Amino acid sequence: MPFKIKYKFKDDKKYYTCTVTYQQYKNFRELPIIKECEVIKKNQKNVQEYKEEMEQALNYAVNNDKSHIRRLSRNM
3-state helix, strand, coil split of the chain in percent (to 5) is 40, 30, 35
Which pLDDT does position 74 carry in this prediction? 66
pLDDT tens per residue across span 25-36: 999 999 999 999
Planar angle of CA 61, 54, 66, nearest 5 degrees = 25
Which pLDDT does position 65 carry in this prediction? 84
Q: Which residues of the chain have pLDDT under 50?
A: 43-44, 46, 76
Which pLDDT does position 49 carry in this prediction? 63
